[in-house]
């Protein structure tokens, strides 16, 4: 797992580490400390080491690529009865291409394994607990980490929370329901 770190600016006030996740799933977070350091308050930067990481299968952490064409990468496909058969063919093609080159890795690319990787990062940094800032899917990941390792979770901020009961198809349906009135 590739990680990056910007140390707390006031070591005498240091509280610990703040792991950062941009969402996704599959969002690379290695550079998050750099761009978040411009947005976070000085009080946070003085007390926390900012920790970015690319989750397994992403970016610098043994990336999984499927060799998809540009057209095959377009995943936003509104349901239409007329296009359903071609959408099913597309989904099967994507699954087949991803399995062909990465079949042995795919079963290990899970939210719970990413939470375990976060805990391995915590341990490698010599920390008893981690604080966390996650966006979108990162809120779900943070909640899973806190569920799996409650004694190791310090302060968590979950921004733009994902409903765990609706991951992922249900989430996209809700987005569509929310966006449709804007078009009317």
Question: Is residue 55 within 8 Å of residue 26, measured between CB atoms?
Answer: yes
Render pLDDT for 57-75 as a digit per residue (tens, 0 to 9): 999 999 999 999 998 988 8
Q: pTM of the predicted model, to two decimals?
A: 0.86
| Cα angle: 154, vertex 120, 108; to 5 degrees | 115
User: Alpha-carbon Rg of the chain, whole angstroms?
Assistant: 19
Place 179 in a pLDDT band, splitting at 50, 70 and 90: confident
Of the candidates 31, 32, 21, which has an alpha carbon nearest to the alpha carbon of residue 55?
Answer: 21
Per-residue pLDDT, averaged over 147-156, amounts to: 98
Helices 137-148 and 111-124 cross at an angle (nearest 10°) of 70
pLDDT for residue 108? 94
Residue that is written with structure tokens 């391995």 in the block: 120
Per-residue pLDDT, averaged over 86-99, amounts to: 93
- For residue 132, pLDDT over 80 is answered with yes
pLDDT for residue 169? 66
pLDDT for residue 78? 77
- For residue 176, pLDDT over 90 is answered with no
CA distances from 91 to 46, 73, 74, 85, 87 (A): 47, 10, 11, 10, 6
Q: Is residue 93 within a helix (H) or strand (E), and if so which, with residue range?
A: helix 84-102
CB-side neighbour CA atoms (13 Å) of 183: 6
Task: Indicate the CATH number for domain 2-63+112-183.
Answer: 3.40.50.1820
Place 181 in a pLDDT band, splitting at 50, 70 and 90: confident
Per-residue pLDDT, averaged over 12-34, amounts to: 95
What 8-state DSSP symbol labels residue 1?
-
Per-residue pLDDT, averaged over 140-163, amounts to: 95
pLDDT for residue 168? 67
Question: Phi and psi (nearest 5°) for 157?
Answer: -115, 120
Place 174 in a pLDDT band, splitting at 50, 70 and 90: confident
| Cα angle: 19, vertex 21, 24; to 5 degrees | 160
Render pLDDT for 28-55 as a digit per residue (tens, 0 to 9): 999 999 999 999 999 999 999 999 999 9
- For residue 8, pLDDT over 70 is answered with yes
């Amino acid at each position: 797992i590739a990680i990056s770190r910007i140390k707390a600016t006031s070591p005498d006030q240091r509280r610990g580490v703040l792991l950062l996740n941009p969402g996704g799933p599959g969002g690379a977070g290695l550079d998050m400390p750099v761009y978040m350091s411009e947005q976070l308050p000085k009080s946070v930067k003085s007390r926390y080491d900012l920790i970015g990481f690319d989750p397994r299968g992403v970016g610098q952490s043994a990336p999984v690529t499927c060799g998809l064409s540009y057209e095959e990468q377009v995943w936003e496909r509104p349901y239409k009865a007329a296009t359903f058969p071609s959408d099913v063919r597309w989904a099967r093609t994507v699954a087949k291409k991803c399995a062909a080159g990465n079949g042995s890795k795919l079963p290990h690319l899970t939210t719970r394994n990413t939470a375990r990787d976060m805990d391995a990062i915590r341990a490698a940094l010599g920390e008893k607990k981690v604080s966390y800032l996650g966006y979108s899917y990162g809120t779900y990941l943070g909640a899973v980490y806190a569920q799996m390792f409650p004694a190791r979770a310090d302060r968590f901020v979950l921004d733009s929370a994902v409903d765990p009961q609706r991951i992922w198809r249900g989430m996209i349906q809700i987005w569509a329901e929310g966006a449709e009135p804007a078009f009317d």
